[in-house]
Amino acid sequence: MSTITETVVFDLDLIQRYDRPGPRYTSYPTAPQFHADFDEAALRAELRSSNASGRPLSLYFHIPFCEHLCFYCACTKVVTRHREWGTPYVQRLTQEMALLRRDVDGDRPVTQLHFGGGTPTFLVRADMERLVDGIAAQFHLLDDDSGEYGIEVDPRALEPGTLALLRQRGWNRLSMGVQDLNPEVQKAVHREQSLELVAGVMAEARALGYRSISLDLIYGLPFQSPASFAATLEQILQLRPDRLSLFNYAHLPERFLPQRRIRDADLPRPAEKLQILQESIATLQAAGYVYIGMDHFALPEDELTLAQQQGQLYRNFQGYSTHADADLLAMGMSAIAMVGPSYSQNLKDLDAWGAALDAGQLPVERGLRLSADDLLRRAVITRLICDFRLDIPAIEAQFGIPFADTFAQSYPALEALAKDGLIQWTPTAITVTPPGRLLVRHVCMAFDAYLGQQNTRFSKVI
Q: What percent of the chain has pLDDT over 70?
A: 97
365 three-state secondary structure: strand
How far the first Cα of the chain sits from its last, in Å, is 29
- CA dist 439 and 422 (Å) reads 8
> Of 75-79, 85-89, 399-403, 423-427, which range is least confident?
75-79
Whether residue 307 contacts residue 324, with contact meaning beta carbons closer than 8 Å, is answered with no
Query: Sorting pLDDT into bands at 50, 70 and 90, what band is 457?
Result: low
- Looking at the domain that runs over 33-331, which CATH code has it been given? 3.80.30.20
What pLDDT is stored for residue 252 in this prediction? 86
Query: pLDDT class for 4, splitting at 50, 70, 90?
Result: very low
Nearest to 197 by CA among 232, 235, 161, 156: 156
Instruction: Please enumerate in sequence order all residues whose Cβ is within 8 A of that of 43, keeping only pairs 6 or more positions apart, or say none.
Output: 337, 339, 342, 344, 362, 364, 367
At residue 421, the pLDDT reads 95
H/E stretch holding 296: strand 296-298
Instruction: List for the chain the helix, strand, coil content (%; round to 5).
Output: 40, 20, 40
Contact 387, 381 (CB under 8 A): no
Nearest to 180 by CA among 278, 246, 243: 246
SS (H, E, C) 238-273: HHCCCEEEEEECCCCCCCCHHHHHCCHHHCCCHHHH
The span from the CA of 295 to the CA of 215, in Å, is: 12
Ramachandran bin of 385, using left for φ above 0, alpha for ψ from -120 to 50, beta for the remaining angles: alpha
Rounded-to-integer distance, Cα 247 and Cα 208, Å: 28
Confidence band for 1, pLDDT divided at 50, 70 and 90? very low
Q: What is the pLDDT of residues 381-402, one digit of tens each?
A: 999 999 999 999 999 999 999 9
Here the contacts of 199-205 (C-beta below 8 Å, separation 24 or greater) are 199/239, 200/155, 201/153, 201/155, 201/158, 201/163, 201/174, 201/176, 202/176, 202/239, 202/241, 204/163, 205/163, 205/174
Question: 124-139 pLDDT, tens per residue?
Answer: 999 999 999 999 999 9
pLDDT for res 139: 98
Burial of 135 (0-12, 13-18, 19+ CB in 10 A): buried
Considering the entire predicted model, what is its pTM?
0.94
- Residue 428, SS3? coil
- Cβ atoms of 161 and 128 closer than 8 Å: no
Q: What is the mean pLDDT of residues 75-88?
A: 93
Contact of 208 with 167, CB cutoff 8 Å? yes
Residues 276-287, mean pLDDT to the nearest whole number: 95
Q: Please tell me the CATH code under which domain 1-29+372-454 is placed.
A: 1.10.10.920
- Check whether 2 has a pLDDT greater than 60: no
Mean pLDDT of the chain: 93
**Cα–Cα distance between 172 and 145 in angstroms, integer?**
7
Q: How high is the pLDDT of residue 7?
A: 79
Q: What local confidence, expressed as pLDDT, does residue 454 receive?
A: 61
Per residue in 215-274, pLDDT (tens digit) is 999 999 999 999 999 999 999 999 999 999 999 998 889 888 899 999 999 999 989 999
Q: Would you kindly state where each structural domain of the chain is located, as residue ranges?
A: 1-29+372-454, 33-331
Q: Is the peptide bond before 118 cis (omega within 30 degrees of 0)?
A: yes
Beta strands in 348-444 (DSSP E): 364-369, 389-391, 423-425, 429-432
The whole-angstrom separation of Cα 334 and Cα 64 is 9
Which distant-in-sequence residues (6+ apart) come within 8 Å of 40 by Cβ? 361, 362, 364
Regarding predicted confidence, which is higher, 81 or 319? 81
Quote the longest CA-to-CA distance of the chain.
60
The pLDDT tens digits for 167-222 are 999 999 999 999 999 999 999 999 999 999 999 999 999 999 999 999 999 999 99
Confidence tier at 456 by pLDDT (50, 70, 90): low
Q: Are 78 and 258 in contact (CB under 8 A)?
A: no
d(CA 314, CA 344): 19
Residue 396, judged by CB atoms within 10 A of its CB (0-12, 13-18, 19+), counts as middle
* Alpha-carbon span 261 to 189, nearest angstrom: 8
Distance CA 197, CA 195 (A): 5
pLDDT in tens, 314-349: 888 878 888 778 999 999 999 999 999 999 999 999
For residues 310 and 331, the model is more confident at 331
Three-class secondary structure of residue 344 per DSSP: strand
Nearest to 446 by CA among 429, 462, 423, 421: 423
